[in-house]
Structures are given as C-alpha cells and as structure tokens.
Amino acid sequence: MALTNSQYNTIMKEYEEKQLISRHALDDKINYVNQILPEYQKITSEISSLALQQASRLLEGNDSALEELKISLRDLREKKKQLLLDAGLPSNYLEPEYVCSDCKDTGYIGTNKCHCFKQRSISLLYQQSYIADMLKENNFSSLSYEFYEGEDLLRFQNTVKTCRDFIDCFNSDYHNLFFYGTVGTGKSFLSGCIAKELIDTGHSVVYFSSAGLFEKLSRLSFDNNSKDELSDLYEDLFSCDLLIIDDLGTELINNFSSSQFFSCLNERILRKKSIIISTNLSLQELRDRYSDRIFSRITSNFKLCKITGPDIRMYKKRLANRK
C-alpha cells in the first residue's frame, strides 16, 4: 500500500486510539466484576500463582507435576467462566473487544497488513486526494465519445488510450501527462478516471486545482504557526504516487507561485514520481506565462495530449435547462 509517511502515521495513530479505548473498556469491566464477584479476583490471583509454579516445573523437567498444574489451571478458568454466567454475564465478558478481531486492532497479522488496514488506506487515499466526490462521476464507467467528431474524436480516443496505458504501466514505467486544449473537453474528467483506477488499487493520489494548491502553499508558508502542516503538505506533494494539478493557469502567477511550481515539478521528476497537469492554455500561452525552465521541464518530461471539441459542461447545462 503506497502511503506517504504522514498518511501511514495517521492510520497507525487511529489503531493506537482503538487499542487505548479497548484497554479502558476492559479495565472498567474488570473493576466491575471484582466489585460484584470477590471470588473472581481470588481465582485470578490463584491462577497467577499456579502459572508461576507451572513455569518452575517446566524448567525442572517435572512432567507429572506440570500436567497436574495444567489440569488445575483449566479447572480454575472454568470456575471463572461459571461465576460470570451465574452473575448473568457472558462467559467471554472479560475478553478484549476489537473493531477488527483478525489483527486485534494492530493493523497487522504477523508482518502482513490486515485487510482492515488496506481498506482504511484506500478510504484515506480517497479522502486526502480531495476528489472523492468528483470521482463518483469522473470514471471510465461514464466515459462517452458522443460529444466528439472528426479530428476532435480522434484526439480524444488517442488520449483515452494513453490514459489506459498510463494506468496499466504505472508500476513499471515512469510517465507524466500534460492535458491541454479547449475549455470543457474532458481534461479534468480523464485525470479523474486515472485517479480512481489508481486509488482503487491502493496508490496514493493527491489532487489540487492549481489555484487551490498555490493559495494553500502561500498561506501556510507565511504563517509561523503552520510549519508542521506545511511540512506534511510538502511530504504529500513530493512523495505521493500521483500528483494531479488541475486548471494550470488559473492561479495567481507571481515569483512565489512560479518558484513553488518549478520546485514541485523538479522534485517529483528527480524522484520519478508521476504528475498529471491539465490546462486550458495553449503551448504558446504556457511558454509566455511561465519561465523557460518550467516550459522546458514540461515539454521534456511529459507526454503532451491535446484535447479539442465542444464545451461538454456547457452542452450538458443547456440540455438540463431544456428539461
């Protein structure tokens, strides 16, 4: 499960909290039983004493005495169960209760991650990708070619194939995608399709609109009380399996945003961590708006996918207004 450090720590903290709640609940039950059943506590003490004797006999190699102790311990445990039943309590009343009985709320079965850990990872990946709601509609199951024709259709079909290849080879080949073209033609939609497929297979995906990303970086960078949050954000931006920056060009472009954008691109390229960028800018507008080194990084390290056609969002809106 490809989690960033901060994501992994978040999940493990949740398990620690579950274990703490379980221990407190068990302590409360033990105190209650000891209050209403004084005999129960006496048997518990006797079992502890016998267990020590059992260990001693085991070291001495006295097999007959050891067998007698085992029988005595079994009988005492049965008495404890009967005391609970006589008090109207289930015989397993003092057994720890876990949210997941398979891993006992540790997240691991031996050295392997439990199924509950894997499920929580996927849930967290959706939550922290910032696109959980968007992916309910933006996925390959709702893909349609009906809005395209001619050269626009050919471009879109080729881009869809590129997207599927990107997913199929994600674990073996390093690639970046740059979607550009006219407004409302499916660039964000295809980013979402890829994100859903990768998240569903346990990959970490972080999504930001370009404006949202640089606004958040700016706010955290100039707030001395947000150093930890800024550090976590950089960790996610640099370490997640896939970073999606949507609507590039809508952010406030200044020295800060440009330097942050270049740093993010450069760091992920050096780490061979995939990026998807979508924009309504043409390549000429991209060159004019950003520095030569940003333009160079994108044109040299990304597969450029041009998508053209009608504004599908406006088309759907007009159809809805007619109904």
Whole-number pLDDT of residue 65: 65
- pLDDT < 50 stretches in the chain: 1
Kindly report, residue by residue over 165-202, the tens digit of the pLDDT. Answer: 999 999 999 999 999 999 989 999 999 999 999 988 87
Whole-number pLDDT of residue 24: 94
Whole-number pLDDT of residue 69: 74
Whole-number pLDDT of residue 130: 61
Whole-number pLDDT of residue 58: 67
Whole-number pLDDT of residue 63: 64
Helix (H), strand (E), coil (C) string for the chain: CECCHHHHHHHHHHHHHHHHHHHHHHHHHHHHHHHHCHHHHHHHHHHHHHHHHHHHHHHHCCHHHHHHHHHHHHHHHHHHHHHHHHCCCCCCCCCCCCCCCCCCCCCEECCEECHHHHHHHHHHHHHHHCCCCHHHCCCHHHCCCCCCCHHHHHHHHHHHHHHHHHHHCCCCCCCCEEEEECCCCCHHHHHHHHHHHHHHCCECEEEEEHHHHHHHHHHHHCCHHHHHHHHHHHHHHHHCCEEEEEEECCCCCCHHHHHHHHHHHHHHHHHCCEEEEEECCCHHHHHHHCCHHHHHHHHHHCEEEEECCCCHHHHHHHHHHHC
Whole-number pLDDT of residue 319: 61
In CATH, 130-322 is 3.40.50.300: yes
So where are the chain's domains?
A: 5-109, 130-322
Whole-number pLDDT of residue 1: 40
